[in-house]
Structure 1
Amino acid sequence: MRRPAKGSNRLLAALPPADLALLSPHLKQVSLEQDAVIVRSGDRREYVYFPHSGAISFMLDMPNGATIATAMIGREGALGALSILGPSRSSVTAVVRVGGTASQISVSRFHAAYIGSSAIRDVVQAHTGAILMQLQHVAACNGLHSVEARLARWLLELHDRTEGSVLSVTQGTLSQLLGVRRTTVTQMVAKLRAVGAIRSDQRGLIEIDRGRLEEASCECYRIMRRETDRIVPDEAVTPRLETRGR
């Protein structure tokens, strides 16, 4: 499967100029530094982020200290967009896994624009649908598929949001994403290395062979990619989301 095209945030790119103008004066460009925690579980959400590059994982923190990833977003999504449902605290911890950039806007400014624009409401609805789809597939994948196949899927999702073929990701990070011990990650990395899907070193750099990694992954990766592209089209394919009543 071909990697997604690189470019601006797909949700912002889907907005007609007049609707984007409601947001533009209040958008601030920020850097997403690898391993940075943008919001912690239980924190009040203050900003909405529209990534232009990089990857953010949504981590569920368990009482015993274990973590597992429930979703990952890049330029096809947003962090904090569901704050329009009302003041609330984050149910997940959002961690930058691949560094990049994003447009940041305060929750109050975003809510005001949301109220005044049906196109922005359509974009939020599309984003919500994409996240719900991903949550469902990740839950099914965690219960039905092997750790090796799940590792291949997460690596592909990271690769989709990384320039080049080399990922900077530690086994500790992979352990958090998968919700397994590091020793298990070590074993699964060795299996993927044995079939030529990846090459890794002690510095936490993983070079992937995309074709072989896709063969090692379960069908969940392809389904989620296809459904995300259907729900939130890339501007390289279609410049605007379909909207109702416009």
Structure 2
Amino acid sequence: MRCAKSGLDTTSGREHSPANCACTPSFSGQWKQAAGHNPPTLVAWILGALDIDPASAHRILTHVENASPHLVTDHHTHTHTHTIAAQCYEHIANHTIAWAPIQLPDLLRTSEHDDLLFQHPLVDTDYADHQRQTLLSRRDALITNPDRSHTFLIGDAALLTCPQPARAGQLILLRTLSHHTNITVRIVPINRCSPGLATPFTLYHRDDTAIAVAAHHDHAGTYTSARDILARSADTAAWLTANALDQAETSHALALPDDQPSPVP
């Protein structure tokens, strides 16, 4: 939805002017500010004016019935039609901040870690298969696009909840990813922020401006652009960043037990 509202071409990143869409500047301004609920026919008209490819247009239109001016709900059960809104926002944003207090972010998990999680009886099989496919492209974009930066704030409880068979490989991957110039990984100790104080969220920025925040649940993801919630989320992210371990301390926390130096007697 925000792809259309921001006037961005989802494939090239170009911005289309109101003249190109044959609409007045006031109409364009109202659309960008998400003023009012936009019916499917109007959304389809805008997508056509922006020359969005049919597959992307279809996926965006599936969200219209669940969208309000400042809210989009992405149902995980709609595996055949839903777009994984995270992909849209990751494409638009040039900086994301993810807070993960009790479970590692999906972008940072190893495939072995995925397998162990997706085999759980509470996980829908169709959803797991869909996630495997989308995660491949999202993880590839994480390291192949240096123009987009990512900050991952991880509660140390999330390291402990990683299944034991996958833990060594997971720690190695986290340390490897943290060496990329566009990826920042920081550990937030549980004694500075217990897991229940701040629920998981992902904050999306474009040009230093917060454009959306996502809260992920078991069966759906909720994305909001309400300014008060964005401001609160930005304040929370700033506090977590200030209270996270520094780079050296984080590297030590991510070290395998055999790699950690023995305590000085």
TM-score by length of 1: 0.26
User: Which protein has the larger Cα radius of gyration, Structure 1 or Structure 2?
Assistant: 2
Greater relative CO, 1 or 2 (CA 8 Å, sep 6+): 1
